[in-house]
Amino acid sequence: MKRLFRSTYYSKIQVSFILLILLPIVTVTIISYTVNRNASMDNIALSNKSILQLMEQDIEETVSDLAYASLIFVENDLLKPYYKHYAELDGISNFQDYEIYSGIESLLNLVSFKASPNHIHLFIANEKGLIISTPGFFARGKSIDELEDHWKQIQAKDNLANSSHFQWLGAVSSESYPEKFFYGTRVIRDTGTGRVLAVLNIGISENYFKELFDPIKTGKFALFNSDGELFAGSPDVSLSAPGDKGTIIRSSASIPIVDWDLVFETPKADVVGQLTRTFYISGIIIAVSMVLFLLLSMLLARKLHKPIHKLQRIAVQFGGGNRSMRFQVSGEDEINDLGRTLNDMLDQIEELIANMAREQDEKRRMELQTLANQIRPHFLLNTLNAMKISLIMGGDQVHGEKINSLMSLLRNYLKMDEPSFLHEEVEVLRHYVSLMEMRSDMRIRFEASFSEEAGMCRIPKLLLQPIVENAIVHGFLERDDHSAIVLRAEIQQGDLVIAVADNGMGMDEAAIAEMNAKLQAEGAAEHRDPDHIGVRNILQRMKLVYGEAAALRLERNEEGGLTVCLHIPVMERSLPAGGEHDV
């Protein structure tokens, strides 16, 4: 939210339109869709439960009727003589056999279920394999061979020792006759001897359940037997609940008479499909409306934002250096009043900048002149030159060279307001070290290494001399011999980097860190520190000439001495062929 209030005025207008108009519409649409979807799924769940109860009742009544019908054959004592004669038959060889066969067949037709003659049939079989069936079974194009195949499978499952119960044996089918039938059986016995006279078989075709389930188009039924095997219905439905319950509306019921399980599943996509499609269509319409609304709002917002953006662009370009930018006043509204005020403010700022530039130029010239005027020994040059000539003529070449080195230093002092090449400054340092050797009565090795590109960079005169002086005066204070000063210079990423290292007594890490912190602090170049006037004088001259990009840092080197690193922006240099100078 904080980021929103920090954004542009144009963005705030756009976001306001979205939050106040579009967001409520989208929110209400999503809430409405969610509520309607949940209500639809709840209604379907209740409806599925009712349908499942009807199916369960229908199947349970059918199974109960079949069990009751089987009692007619078992409990009727008038039929026992027929069964005793039938038990001995393996075919029809005389008229009596035919009468027995026809009588039992008539009884089967009498008890046959007229409501589903194509899917429920009865047949009786004896131990000799003679089968008597309802005619409806053969009317569907089936043969006695299929019944015989069914009887063989029933015999393998039937418990003939049980003579008082109606047994549901499960599904029966074969490769030759793939249609499955679910059979229930009753054993008919001689009440006197207990002999098995016949076995009554009642079969329910899987098509009975298919026709029962097919009218329901909003889901899938599945019927499982007591072993958990699918007997009828969709193979996509499982007895156990699926892992992904969020996509299925599931109802189940148990038929205790036969220990069957009936499952009804409806995919939620089927329930809310039309609602979802309507939601998506509405979403597309809303999206198109949003796009049109956003385009219109962008046009209106742009028209409102254009003068404000113009004011912003003028301020940015003025800050970038284009000080001629001004707002074109074209009316009397609040924006134009603000534009006139901005023009007046920019005029005042431009005047202040011009005044500050003049003051800074004057201040820089005065400070450079003040620094350069610290030493102006003009009167010494002629005297020193005469002394040099006299010494050389007298055969004292050593002191003549020393006088020559001193004159070189003085000439550079007289022209401190002029820049010089780095290689010239190195030559001046060589003269200075030579003089300091004589003054301090010690041997000082001076080495310098730099590329030709670095040697042709211009730097202020005598910029490096205070560093060498500090090394000799302070660094070599307790050193007897092997004193050395090494200068390295190279171009790195557009900067001239000069490192002046000595092997003197150096400084401890804490003092170096404190000094670097002071040098990097704001206003360090103008701060007066009597203990480090030489270093601050160098930093001040660098800042005056090169600006804030110039930097100076102290480091402790491997020799135990001090290394002074200068970073100077390359402003002017000639670029001869590459190479390095060693002095």
According to CATH, where is 3.30.565.10 located in the chain?
Answer: 415-582
pLDDT attached to residue 574: 38
Please compute the mean of the pLDDT values over residues 274-291 and round it to a whole number.
76
According to CATH, where is 3.30.450.20 located in the chain?
Answer: 1-286
How many angstroms separate the CA atoms of 330 and 337, rounded? 10
pLDDT attached to residue 4: 45
Q: Own/partner pairs for 306-311, CB < 8 Å, 24+ apart?
A: 307/335, 307/336, 307/339, 308/9, 308/10, 308/335, 309/10, 311/335, 311/338, 311/339, 311/342
C-beta of residue 279 within 8 angstroms of C-beta of residue 29: yes
C-beta of residue 446 within 8 angstroms of C-beta of residue 485: yes
Q: Which residue has better confidence, 18 or 560?
A: 560
Q: Own/partner pairs for 265-272, CB < 8 Å, 24+ apart?
A: 265/219, 265/220, 265/222, 265/236, 265/237, 266/44, 266/48, 266/218, 266/219, 266/220, 267/219, 268/41, 270/218, 270/219, 271/40, 271/41, 271/44, 271/218, 272/37, 272/40, 272/41
pLDDT at 554 over 90: yes
pLDDT at 374 over 80: no
Total Cβ atoms within 10 A of residue 538 = 25
Burial class (CB in 10 A: 0-12, 13-18, 19+), 283: middle
Condensed to tens digits (0 to 9), the pLDDT of residues 188-217 reads: 887 778 788 888 888 888 888 888 888 877
pLDDT attached to residue 448: 94
Highest average pLDDT, of 37-46, 124-133, 351-360, 443-452, comes from 443-452
pLDDT at 500 over 90: yes
pLDDT at 163 over 70: no
Q: Which residue has better confidence, 84 or 416?
A: 84
Rg value, the chain, Cα: 57
pLDDT attached to residue 573: 47
Superfamily of domain 1-286: PAS domain (3.30.450.20)
Query: Strands across the sheet with 196-205, in order?
Result: 131-133, 120-125, 196-205, 181-189, 167-172
Please compute the mean of the pLDDT values over residues 62-82 and round it to a whole number.
77
pLDDT at 5 over 60: no
Condensed to tens digits (0 to 9), the pLDDT of residues 297-339 reads: 777 666 666 677 677 677 777 777 776 777 777 776 777 777 7
- Token duo for residue 84: 């005793």
**pTM of the predicted model over 0.85:** no
Class of domain 415-582 (CATH, top level): alpha beta
Residue of 181, 198, 224, 171 lying closest to 86 (CA atoms)? 198
State the SS3 of 321-354: CCCCCCCCCCCCCHHHHHHHHHHHHHHHHHHHHH
Residue of 531, 566, 530, 572 lying closest to 549 (CA atoms)? 566
pLDDT at 86 over 70: yes
